[in-house]
Protein backbone atom coordinates (compact mmCIF):
# COMPACT_ATOMS: atom_id res chain seq x y z
CA UNK A 1 0.00 0.00 0.00
CA UNK A 2 2.82 2.40 0.93
CA UNK A 3 4.55 1.58 -2.35
CA UNK A 4 1.44 2.47 -4.38
CA UNK A 5 0.92 5.68 -2.40
CA UNK A 6 4.55 6.76 -2.91
CA UNK A 7 4.38 5.93 -6.61
CA UNK A 8 1.14 7.87 -7.03
CA UNK A 9 2.52 10.87 -5.11
CA UNK A 10 5.76 10.85 -7.16
CA UNK A 11 3.88 10.66 -10.44
CA UNK A 12 1.60 13.53 -9.41
CA UNK A 13 4.54 15.75 -8.42
CA UNK A 14 6.40 14.93 -11.62
CA UNK A 15 3.38 15.66 -13.81
CA UNK A 16 2.74 18.92 -11.94
CA UNK A 17 6.30 20.11 -12.41
CA UNK A 18 6.23 19.36 -16.15
CA UNK A 19 3.14 21.51 -16.72
CA UNK A 20 4.31 24.25 -14.36
CA UNK A 21 6.97 25.49 -16.79
CA UNK A 22 6.10 29.07 -17.70
CA UNK A 23 5.53 29.79 -21.37
CA UNK A 24 6.09 33.17 -22.91
CA UNK A 25 3.12 33.69 -25.19
CA UNK A 26 3.94 34.11 -28.84
CA UNK A 27 7.71 33.63 -28.60
CA UNK A 28 8.12 30.38 -30.54
CA UNK A 29 5.14 31.13 -32.81
CA UNK A 30 6.67 34.50 -33.74
CA UNK A 31 10.05 32.92 -34.49
CA UNK A 32 8.42 30.12 -36.50
CA UNK A 33 6.58 32.68 -38.63
CA UNK A 34 9.73 34.71 -39.27
CA UNK A 35 11.64 31.52 -40.13
CA UNK A 36 8.98 30.80 -42.78
CA UNK A 37 9.46 34.28 -44.21
CA UNK A 38 13.26 34.02 -44.28
CA UNK A 39 13.08 30.53 -45.80
CA UNK A 40 11.05 31.92 -48.72
CA UNK A 41 13.33 34.96 -49.22
CA UNK A 42 15.50 33.24 -51.90
CA UNK A 43 12.28 32.42 -53.80
CA UNK A 44 11.01 36.03 -53.81
CA UNK A 45 8.33 35.13 -51.24
CA UNK A 46 6.35 33.23 -53.90
CA UNK A 47 4.85 30.82 -51.34
CA UNK A 48 3.81 33.70 -49.09
CA UNK A 49 2.21 36.01 -51.65
CA UNK A 50 -1.53 36.30 -51.27
CA UNK A 51 -3.95 38.49 -53.16
CA UNK A 52 -2.81 41.63 -54.92
CA UNK A 53 -3.72 44.62 -52.72
CA UNK A 54 -2.48 47.61 -54.69
CA UNK A 55 -0.44 48.50 -57.74
CA UNK A 56 1.28 51.61 -59.02
CA UNK A 57 3.74 52.10 -61.90
CA UNK A 58 6.66 51.50 -59.49
CA UNK A 59 5.33 48.86 -57.07
CA UNK A 60 2.87 46.03 -56.57
CA UNK A 61 1.69 45.16 -53.05
CA UNK A 62 0.43 41.71 -52.07
CA UNK A 63 -1.15 40.44 -48.88
CA UNK A 64 1.15 38.10 -46.97
CA UNK A 65 -0.11 34.62 -46.17
CA UNK A 66 2.17 34.61 -43.11
CA UNK A 67 1.01 37.16 -40.56
CA UNK A 68 2.70 36.83 -37.16
CA UNK A 69 0.30 36.67 -34.23
CA UNK A 70 -0.54 40.09 -32.85
CA UNK A 71 0.50 42.05 -35.93
CA UNK A 72 -1.92 44.48 -37.51
CA UNK A 73 -0.83 44.12 -41.13
CA UNK A 74 1.64 42.11 -43.20
CA UNK A 75 2.43 42.53 -46.87
CA UNK A 76 4.90 41.81 -49.66
CA UNK A 77 6.04 44.59 -51.98
CA UNK A 78 7.45 44.08 -55.46
CA UNK A 79 9.46 46.85 -57.10
CA UNK A 80 11.93 47.09 -59.95
CA UNK A 81 15.63 47.72 -59.42
CA UNK A 82 17.84 47.85 -62.48
CA UNK A 83 15.23 46.01 -64.54
CA UNK A 84 15.02 43.19 -61.99
CA UNK A 85 12.00 42.49 -59.77
CA UNK A 86 12.91 42.80 -56.08
CA UNK A 87 10.65 41.78 -53.20
CA UNK A 88 10.38 42.76 -49.55
CA UNK A 89 8.18 41.44 -46.75
CA UNK A 90 7.01 43.73 -43.95
CA UNK A 91 4.72 43.67 -40.95
CA UNK A 92 3.59 46.16 -38.31
CA UNK A 93 4.26 44.77 -34.84
CA UNK A 94 2.82 47.68 -32.86
CA UNK A 95 1.28 51.14 -33.11
CA UNK A 96 1.12 53.12 -29.87
CA UNK A 97 1.25 56.66 -28.54
CA UNK A 98 3.26 55.30 -25.59
CA UNK A 99 7.00 55.50 -26.33
CA UNK A 100 7.93 53.10 -23.50
CA UNK A 101 5.58 50.42 -24.84
CA UNK A 102 6.93 50.85 -28.38
CA UNK A 103 10.58 50.77 -27.21
CA UNK A 104 9.85 47.59 -25.25
CA UNK A 105 8.30 45.91 -28.33
CA UNK A 106 11.26 47.05 -30.48
CA UNK A 107 13.72 45.48 -28.05
CA UNK A 108 11.59 42.32 -27.73
CA UNK A 109 11.56 41.86 -31.52
CA UNK A 110 15.36 42.24 -31.69
CA UNK A 111 15.81 39.71 -28.87
CA UNK A 112 13.58 37.22 -30.68
CA UNK A 113 15.55 37.56 -33.90
CA UNK A 114 19.16 37.75 -32.69
CA UNK A 115 20.61 34.27 -32.66
CA UNK A 116 17.60 32.79 -34.45
CA UNK A 117 18.52 29.86 -36.67
CA UNK A 118 17.24 29.92 -40.22
CA UNK A 119 17.30 26.98 -42.61
CA UNK A 120 18.60 27.23 -46.14
CA UNK A 121 18.68 24.11 -48.29
CA UNK A 122 19.94 21.56 -45.73
CA UNK A 123 22.00 23.79 -43.43
CA UNK A 124 21.21 26.21 -40.60
CA UNK A 125 22.49 29.75 -40.33
CA UNK A 126 22.24 32.26 -37.49
CA UNK A 127 20.93 35.81 -37.59
CA UNK A 128 23.27 38.35 -36.01
CA UNK A 129 23.22 42.09 -35.54
CA UNK A 130 23.88 44.92 -33.11
CA UNK A 131 21.02 46.52 -31.21
CA UNK A 132 20.34 50.10 -32.28
CA UNK A 133 19.20 51.59 -28.97
CA UNK A 134 16.15 53.85 -29.28
CA UNK A 135 15.95 57.35 -27.82
CA UNK A 136 12.69 59.22 -27.34
CA UNK A 137 14.46 62.39 -28.54
CA UNK A 138 14.95 60.85 -32.00
CA UNK A 139 12.05 60.00 -34.25
CA UNK A 140 13.44 56.59 -35.25
CA UNK A 141 15.72 53.68 -34.40
CA UNK A 142 16.83 50.89 -36.73
CA UNK A 143 18.46 47.52 -36.12
CA UNK A 144 19.54 45.37 -39.07
CA UNK A 145 20.32 41.69 -38.77
CA UNK A 146 21.98 39.47 -41.34
CA UNK A 147 23.07 35.86 -41.60
CA UNK A 148 26.46 34.96 -40.12
CA UNK A 149 28.68 33.27 -42.74
CA UNK A 150 25.92 33.29 -45.37
CA UNK A 151 25.74 31.09 -48.44
CA UNK A 152 25.24 32.81 -51.80
CA UNK A 153 21.43 32.68 -51.61
CA UNK A 154 21.32 34.56 -48.29
CA UNK A 155 24.17 37.09 -48.80
CA UNK A 156 21.86 40.03 -49.46
CA UNK A 157 19.25 39.08 -46.84
CA UNK A 158 18.50 41.72 -44.22
CA UNK A 159 16.00 41.58 -41.38
CA UNK A 160 15.19 45.04 -40.05
CA UNK A 161 13.44 46.03 -36.84
CA UNK A 162 12.43 49.68 -36.90
CA UNK A 163 10.89 52.07 -34.39
CA UNK A 164 9.55 55.23 -35.96
CA UNK A 165 7.40 58.19 -34.93
CA UNK A 166 4.61 58.82 -37.44
CA UNK A 167 1.96 61.48 -36.78
CA UNK A 168 2.33 61.38 -32.96
CA UNK A 169 2.23 57.58 -32.94
CA UNK A 170 5.15 55.18 -32.46
CA UNK A 171 5.24 52.35 -34.97
CA UNK A 172 7.35 49.19 -34.67
CA UNK A 173 7.88 47.34 -37.94
CA UNK A 174 9.75 44.29 -39.09
CA UNK A 175 11.02 43.92 -42.67
CA UNK A 176 12.78 41.16 -44.58
CA UNK A 177 14.42 42.45 -47.74
CA UNK A 178 17.34 42.30 -50.15
CA UNK A 179 20.12 44.75 -49.39
CA UNK A 180 21.40 45.80 -52.79
CA UNK A 181 24.82 47.16 -51.81
CA UNK A 182 26.97 47.06 -48.73
CA UNK A 183 28.09 50.37 -47.23
CA UNK A 184 31.65 49.71 -48.43
CA UNK A 185 30.42 49.33 -52.03
CA UNK A 186 28.60 52.68 -52.16
108 DSSP 8-state letter: H
- The torsion defined by the Cα of 110, 97, 69 and 41, in degrees rounded to 10, comes to -50
pLDDT in tens, the chain (186 residues): 555 544 544 545 444 444 444 334 456 899 999 999 999 999 999 999 999 999 999 999 999 999 998 898 999 999 988 888 999 999 999 999 999 999 999 999 999 999 999 888 889 999 999 999 999 999 999 999 999 999 999 999 999 999 999 999 999 999 999 997 655 443
Residue 50 lies in a domain: yes
Residue 91 lies in a domain: yes
Count of CA atoms in the C-beta half-sphere (13 A) of 172:
22
pLDDT value of position 141: 98
Count of structural domains, the chain: 1
Q: Judge whether 160 lies within some domain.
A: yes
The whole domain housing 157 covers: 24-185
- Residue 19 counted as domain residue: no
**In-domain check, residue 144:** yes
99-113 helix and 27-40 helix, angle to the nearest 10 degrees: 60
Residue 44 is assigned to a structural domain of this protein:
yes
Amino acid sequence: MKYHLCTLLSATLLAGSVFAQPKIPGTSVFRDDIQKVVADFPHDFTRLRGQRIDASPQTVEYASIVKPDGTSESSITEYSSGGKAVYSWQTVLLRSEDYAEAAKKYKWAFQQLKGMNVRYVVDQYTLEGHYGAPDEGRSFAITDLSVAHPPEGLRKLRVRVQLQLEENEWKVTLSVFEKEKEDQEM
